[in-house]
Structure 1
Amino acid sequence: MSRYISWRNGRVVTSDLARSPQSTHSSGSKLDIPLARTATFRDRPHGMVVLDNNGIHTLKVDFCGCIGSPSVLDQLMNIGWFPATVKDLETCATIGLLHRFHTLNLQGRVPAYDFYNALEVLSDRAGLKDVPDRREQFMLMTREYQYLQMCKHAGRGHDGIGVPRSAGSAELVYGIDATKRGELAIQCQACPHPGINLPEGWEKAPPEKLWIYQLILSEDANFKMKGCATLTREKDPTLGPGFAYMVTNDEYLEHLSKYVDQDEISHCIAFAALWRANNKHAKGLRATGIGSRGKRYSNMDFLWFSTLMGITLLSIIASYDIACQWFCNFWERMKALPKEMHLPAGVKVQFKVLKFHLPPHVKKCHAPFSFNFTKWVGRTDGEGVERNWSWLNMIVRSVSVMGPGLREDTIDNFCGFANWRKTGNSLLCKMVLAIPNALLHNWAFNAFTDGLREGHEEELMLWEVEVRAWEQDHDQQCPLVWDTDGAQEEPTMEEVRLKITEEEHGAGGEGVMVRLEAMRRNRTSTQVADLQCKQTLLLGWLCSLRRESTRRPEEMLLHLPSSFPKEVRNQICVADLPTEEECLCLVQAHKVLRDLRWHLRIWMLAHRFKWKNLDGQAAYTKSQALSSDIEKRIKGASNRYRAAREALVGLQGDGPWQDVLKELRQQDVRGMNERTLNDEEKEEERKARILAGLPPDEDEVDEFGDVVEPTVLFNLETGEGTCTLSWIWYTGAAVDAMNDRKLHDNICVEWMKACARADRWREELVFLEEEMRRVLEFCYWKARWWDERHEACTGVSAELAEGLRAYAMEQAARKRAWAAKWELKWAAAWSRAMMVLRDDLVDVTDVVAVEVELEEEVAYGGI
């Protein structure tokens, strides 16, 4: 469809055939991009292709050529048309179209190729028209538009202070030309920024408070973000080299050229990321990934120190999946970098390994490089960079085929969007999670300590001295990892089988075991025969006491004193018989707890052995018999304890004895290093079962018909901050510890871990409160920053000044509105957290739920 649009005396005139959807749109500001006043454009109507939300249109445009009329570029921008070029202009796109694609591209990851194909379909659904091909021009316009949006959001259009074009040059440049390195990057509002959101004199704070002003950085590389060798950098340059998140390419390559023969970090752990960059899938590529930071020392050093240029903080926590290797000779390698990248003297840097990446490391790396056991880091996991990768990996397919300049500009754009989404809602979620966990783990630690205090006060004091000394100096012996040599060696699988065989021989026809066998749902002929023999033996014992042979022996009731009400017990029972049963039940309860702890330790050993040493279906099948036998004993011990405790309740009633012999719930029957799954993890467990081809039944039952409570093994590092020790390990365990050195050492380590968990969750509350304060201070500072830009709109035309002031006022008002909104939303959680800290973590049973409203993150298009 042909249309005719003309411009006369500053006014748009259209024919009666069709009116442009953007004809009445006026821009609040103009972009200062020079464009020659081509006489050809003004002498006669000019053919032009315009891309709009409703398709691709061919138009005749008559530009105004009157004396004093706006430039061709201004005439286009004033009606909301963005030109594809400033020379030989033939294609434009409406601002509305570019804005829509920008939003869909960021939020929905819609590639420009697919979006343009949709425009062609809108223009000619039947495929009968000759739609002009403007795919390349569209991609160029979207790239320029997105870059200009980044410049506008950074206030580059409000820059009234010129800077020298080069060192020693007297010529000043303004606006985009004066952009400094990293100036287009969106700053983290919660991070410490001296002079912005830190109080005056923060650097003089005592050590017990100075830690809240430290910077925590995570770095990693993403080898999925490969780049094919398509165009050269000369043909496809970066629009903003080093202005946002990607470092300047020339400086980076110049640095790497000095280290072409450097070996990759390849020991201690076996992550695929360590060799992926050189495998067959990486050959022939211009880029094997993007780094935040890299996998070689040279890559890592340049990228990491580039991030910290100009830093004035005193303490930095650096997390990296191979930090145990990277920190070696760290300061010596810094001296080889340009001086502007050097850290100031006195800066303290601690090196940690991301929580999820820590388990594959050797054992000696676990405690020294663990966030869980590091003082003054709260519940930081260091995995924030990995979450960015999950976001960027959604655009891998389109980014991999881009030229070098477009690829870097696109990554900058998506990194900015990811940073923009990190608003106050995430802090509120963390605070809501931290409040009950701080209470829970403080209560669990106190209960653990109280259970060990009697008779072991000196040992507890010694343990605390050891762990506090190690927190201050990691060069000392780490008390959080027990020695596995000599006396601490775990029993072998042969010894375990021998112990189980001896127990089976001594148990004979034990009633509880017979009942468990009778409860089994599916039995073989051999198992049926074995069960019948045990039932016959047990029935013979019972018949010697009373005449009753019509029922199965495991179901016969034994009428002991505890089964009668207290008011009739003395009348029908032999004298002192209740007292004797009480003594027997007490002994049985304590003995069964020892047996239960022993079987759980053996169960953990068997599973670890299977996990590390067995491979193949045959080996797993053979080991399953042993695991089932151990689980049967665990279940039998649990039932015997519950029976003994129930008898004590009937004999003694409620009393202080219940503080030692507590109710044994299903979730309490777990190993020392296990933890109970929460609802979210249970859902992941069910998904994993589906992927493994197993039934996803929520209420899975075992072979005895009881509901299975799933537990997680071998995740001591990843789940360390959320696990709690079951009471069975510290109630009455002090007596066992004196006779079992192995159990004593294990309890010592678990006590120290419980102490670390309580400390980390308490620190998390303090950290989140400080981050919330910093976010509010940053918003108010940014509002004042925009106020200054509003006042500095001088030396330009009245129309441009009006647009600049309006934008600055809008941004300042938005920052203040965010601060007010977040302060109101955070009030309840903030108040509760302060109460928890002020009351020194009151009893967890007295927690008042914090009701908050969690909203979706702010959309990027609302900037």
Structure 2
Amino acid sequence: IKNSDPDNISLFEGKAYFPKDAAYKAYLKTTKPTQEVGVSKSVCNYLKVVNNQNKRKFKSLEVTGVVSCACTHVYVLSTVDLQVGEQFRNTDAALFEALKQRMYNRSTSDLDIMLSYDCNCSYHVNLANHFENATFDGVRDCLARMRYMIPDLHVNGHNDDCIYQYGSAYMECNGHNHMEGIEQLWIGLNMLAAQTRQMNNGFRQDTLINHHGDHNWKKTIGQIPRLVIELTEAKGLYYVKDAEFEALSMRCREQYPDAYKEWMETDRHMTYTVGKKKEVQSPYRFRKYQSGGEAVADTCETPSNDEHLEGVLMPETLESRSRPIAWIYEGILLENDQRKLTHRIHQEKKQPSKAEKEAIVTEREKLGQNISKWYKEATIGTIAEVFNQIYADTEPLPEKCRLLLPSALPAPIRSKLGIENLIRVEYDLREGAAYDAIAEIRRRSSTVAFMDEMRQRNDKGVQRLTRSLRELEDARATLELCIRHYNTHRQALLGLRGPDQLPFPYPDMTLSDTYRKRRTLKRALGDSRRLDGAIFGNMKKGQTLAQPEPSAVRAPIRVEFPGTQITRKKASQDTKKTKTDAVEDESSKTKNELQPGWVWNALRRPGMTDEEVEAFEIEGERVGFFRAEAERDRWLEQWEIKIAEFLRCIMSFDKYAETWAQLATKPKNRDRPGYEAYAREKVHMYSSFAKRARLEFINLGYEKALDRKEGERVQDFLMAQRALYEEEKKHHSDQGADRLTNLEE
């Protein structure tokens, strides 16, 4: 067939993915282009770009591309040709071809139709008017139960209002469905473009139809393993998100009881507009106007970790205390200096500088002198002798020289030297240093988060972006240094711990533990799979960051949560204590008691009152609460949707096998053995698919879903299962609370 043959038409004649060519061209003649209808203009920057592209491209071309409609599994349902870019009338035709396959003349249904489109914020406004055309008879009733969303990646190119009206994360009964899957289709189509570009209309359509059929068949044979993966993932992430939300909910209920009560009564579907600009508001959006505008981070330099040590561990009376305490303390500070110098050397290698190299040499000499002086003043003569031997043999670099504090010595040597008093001193000092390091990490992480937010919001242009990125990387590197300080102190505590001492209650820390989702900005891609770091209260009910050893004997602990000074002060006013209670509480305190602290530094504008700061903090917690709840609900819905899809997959394969069996036994096929053999081959294939799907479903533990009572709907079964999940969760929660109570007793 020559591609220049004008008489060549599609062999499918509208019975595949493309509509009949003559009918489609007649529809286009009776429908005005989108620009003439007056709905193409939009306030969204994303749509402005699309409209400008349509004006500049595709001149003198009969067909400029295609628009396709697919289901959530990216099975292609329909495709139509484009003439002058992507116009709404072309999209209407593709939507009609997809709807009429399953919804034609079906006026009632218990299923909603979720329509995802890149520019739904403008498209759906006049969709009912478009469907008044006689062409859309038979599917017009579908609009009454249609909901509209914008794919997660594309919605970030729209105005912020769109994400709260059309974002998938905040739509009930949608599951975790980002709707970007259809973009996979264009990978293959783009490779075909070089071939179809020179074809005539009929041959081009047949080529695309064959491609769509191959694409859909590969989706079919891979559907079972894909459903197994998605169902397992949805279940696991639901449990993770549920635990995260329960911890957040418990913390908010403790810190902000009045606000929490209001949040629980808030309508999750409420959206409204405020101000002259008619900005859309919803429970998931940060209300900037509440505290008189956006608050900004305090740009003052936070004290370094060493300054905190000097303020907490080195009071004015320290000089008058025994020399061993001062010697241990100075050794801890020297360790910090070693890590700082190592960090500085590493940074200089990334960004070479002659001035920085000279500064490093000077600092190295100073550190070496301080270490030598520290060893000479050692309270244990043996340690000073060991140091002299080390320097006489190797002369290591100051930043790599090992400081022989008690924590650096093996337990047998410590026992032989008889330095139990020094061990206890270092343990106490290390414990204080570890808590100070945590406080510093909280402050540094808040600074990094604020710098990242301001960079994305305000910095434009290569020069400013490059400079701000370098500053952000430096801030992150400083945060990592603080984390190394903490991990070193923690490791030393583990080595120094005696049999009568409680374990340090915090685990090893990584940079991921300092991550926190941004409350003041719109939801970012990937948030549904991320958790806030452990230092921000992401803990299970009744737990610290790490569970103590079962054999440990603990003093009674009142679990409190991170909060501001204001909220903690208000919470303490609710409980009245007698003098006797106060004395008992004071006597029961131990050094190992977990002290509550606010984990997220206030983003304060100069001149803001404490009440405004508190309102800003509560607003951030409110947004985080609703977003965490939405993420949990979407993963629960996703879990249940995948159960329903698995059942539908099994039913579909059974129905295919039954249909082919009927075709094989038709009287007219008895005299055509080839037809009968082909039909029976299909029966065997679909029966094996159904058997495999049923076996995988049972192995996942959903046998009861297959053994439903006659007449029981899938949604009724899922609601009953949801009640069982809640009961099981409550049972495990009660068991955990009982274990914690017994441990405290």
Indicate which of 281, 294, 313 corresponds to 1:489. Answer: 294
Which residue identity does 1:259 align to in structure 2?
Answer: K
Give how far 1:788 is off. 3.8
Give how far 1:601 is off. 1.4
Distance 1:662 1:792, change over 3 A: same
Q: Could you list the per-position Cα deviations for residues 198-246 of structure 1 after superposition, in whole angstroms to 9, with x for gaps in the alignment?
A: xxxxxxxxxxxxxxxxxxxxxxxxxxxxxxxx665xx333333321111
Distance 1:337 1:642, change over 3 A: farther
Indicate which of 441, 458, 461 corresponds to 1:593. Answer: 441
Which residue identity does 1:720 align to in structure 2?
Answer: D
Indicate which of 428, 440, 453 corresponds to 1:605. Answer: 453
**SS state of the match for residue 812, structure 1?**
helix
Aligned partner of 1:262 in structure 2 is 37
Question: Aligned partners of 2:503 and 2:135: how far apart in 1?
Answer: 67
Superposed, which structure 2 residues align to 1:76-475 within 5 Å? 136=2, 235-256=7-28, 257-260=30-33, 261-263=36-38, 264=40, 267-270=43-46, 274-275=50-51, 278-292=54-68, 295-309=86-100, 310=104, 311=106, 312-314=108-110, 315-338=112-135, 340-344=137-141, 347-436=144-233, 438-440=235-237, 442-443=239-240, 445-447=242-244, 449-450=246-247, 453-454=250-251, 456-457=253-254, 459=256, 466=263, 469-475=266-272
Give how far 1:352 is off. 1.0
Question: Aligned partners of 1:819 and 1:656: how far apart in 2?
Answer: 60
Which residue identity does 1:489 align to in structure 2?
Answer: E
Question: Aligned partners of 1:436 and 1:652: how far apart in 2?
Answer: 40
Distance 1:279 1:242, change over 3 A: same
Q: Contact 2:348 / 2:357 at 8 angstroms: preserved in 1? A: no
Indicate which of 633, 637, 642 corresponds to 1:768. Answer: 642
CA RMSD of aligned residues (A): 4.4
**SS state of the match for residue 786, structure 1?**
helix
Q: Could you list the per-position Cα deviations for residues 729-785 of structure 1 after superposition, in whole angstroms to 9, with x for gaps in the alignment?
A: 226643426973555544543443333333333322221221121122122223333
Q: Could you list the per-position Cα deviations for residues 158-217 of structure 1 after superposition, in whole angstroms to 9, with x for gaps in the alignment?
A: xxxxxxxxxxxxxxxxxxxxxxxxxxxxxxxxxxxxxxxxxxxxxxxxxxxxxxxxxxxx
Distance 1:653 1:807, change over 3 A: farther
Superposed, which structure 2 residues align to 1:66-81 within 5 Å? none
Give how far 1:413 is off. 2.5
Q: Contact 1:308 / 1:341 at 8 angstroms: preserved in 2? A: no
Question: Aligned partners of 1:563 and 1:743: how far apart in 2?
Answer: 43
Q: Could you list the per-position Cα deviations for residues 716-735 of structure 1 after superposition, in whole angstroms to 9, with x for gaps in the alignment?
A: 54323322222122266434
Which residue identity does 2:210 align to in structure 1?
Answer: N
**Residue 581 (str. 1) matches residue 408 (str. 2):** no
Question: Aligned partners of 1:556 and 1:767: how far apart in 2?
Answer: 60
Aligned partner of 1:785 in structure 2 is 659
Question: Aligned partners of 1:569 and 1:482: how far apart in 2?
Answer: 60
TM-score by length of 1: 0.57
Aligned partner of 1:736 in structure 2 is 598
Question: Aligned partners of 2:423 and 2:695: how far apart in 1?
Answer: 69
Which residue identity does 2:359 align to in structure 1?
Answer: D
Give how far 1:657 is off. 8.4
Which residue identity does 2:441 align to in structure 1?
Answer: L
Q: Contact 1:316 / 1:349 at 8 angstroms: preserved in 2? A: yes
Give how far 1:323 is off. 1.3
Distance 1:739 1:596, change over 3 A: closer
**SS state of the match for residue 577, structure 1?**
helix
Superposed, which structure 2 residues align to 1:508-657 within 5 Å? 511=337, 512-520=339-347, 522=349, 523-535=352-364, 547=376, 554-555=399-400, 565=411, 571-573=419-421, 577=425, 580-581=428-429, 584-585=432-433, 587-605=435-453, 607-608=455-456, 613-616=459-462, 618-650=463-495, 652=497
**SS state of the match for residue 478, structure 2?**
helix
Moved more, 288-297 or 545-554: 545-554
Indicate which of 656, 659, 664 corresponds to 2:509. Answer: 664
Give how far 1:347 is off. 4.0
State percent identity of aligned pairs. Answer: 17
Name structure 1 gaps, 5 residues minimum: 1-134, 140-229, 675-713, 846-863
Question: Aligned partners of 2:62 and 2:362: how far apart in 1?
Answer: 75
Computing the radius of gyration from Cα coordinates, the structure with the larger value is 1
Question: Aligned partners of 2:209 and 2:536: how far apart in 1?
Answer: 52
Which residue identity does 2:376 align to in structure 1?
Answer: R
Give how far 1:318 is off. 0.7
Which residue identity does 1:241 align to in structure 2?
Answer: E
Give how far 1:316 is off. 0.8
**SS state of the match for residue 402, structure 1?**
coil
Q: Contact 2:653 / 2:690 at 8 angstroms: preserved in 1? A: yes
Distance 1:816 1:237, change over 3 A: same
Give how far 1:595 is off. 2.3
Moved more, 533-542 or 625-634: 533-542
Aligned partner of 1:479 in structure 2 is 283
Q: Contact 2:153 / 2:180 at 8 angstroms: preserved in 1? A: yes
Moved more, 279-288 or 532-541: 532-541
Give how far 1:478 is off. 1.9
Count of residue correspondences: 567
Question: Aligned partners of 1:574 and 1:361: how far apart in 2?
Answer: 63
TM-score by length of 2: 0.65
Question: Aligned partners of 1:719 and 1:441: how far apart in 2?
Answer: 15
Give how far 1:324 is off. 1.8
Distance 1:786 1:427, change over 3 A: closer
Which residue identity does 1:325 align to in structure 2?
Answer: S
Question: Aligned partners of 1:285 and 1:806: how far apart in 2?
Answer: 47
Greater share of residues in strand: 1
Which residue identity does 2:531 align to in structure 1?
Answer: T
Q: Could you list the per-position Cα deviations for residues 621-666 of structure 1 after superposition, in whole angstroms to 9, with x for gaps in the alignment?
A: 5445423431332122112221332344345579998796332034
Q: Contact 2:431 / 2:489 at 8 angstroms: preserved in 1? A: no
Distance 1:650 1:595, change over 3 A: farther
Give how far 1:321 is off. 0.9
Give how far 1:290 is off. 1.1
Q: Contact 1:265 / 1:296 at 8 angstroms: preserved in 2? A: no
Aligned partner of 2:693 in structure 1 is 822
Question: Aligned partners of 1:787 and 1:461: how far apart in 2?
Answer: 65
Distance 1:792 1:434, change over 3 A: closer
Distance 1:656 1:802, change over 3 A: farther
Indicate which of 759, 769, 791 corresponds to 2:633. Answer: 759
Question: Aligned partners of 2:89 and 2:202: how far apart in 1?
Answer: 23
Aligned partner of 2:315 in structure 1 is none
Q: Could you list the per-position Cα deviations for residues 663-683 of structure 1 after superposition, in whole angstroms to 9, with x for gaps in the alignment?
A: 203443445359xxxxxxxxx
Aligned partner of 1:722 in structure 2 is 529
Q: Contact 1:672 / 1:729 at 8 angstroms: preserved in 2? A: no
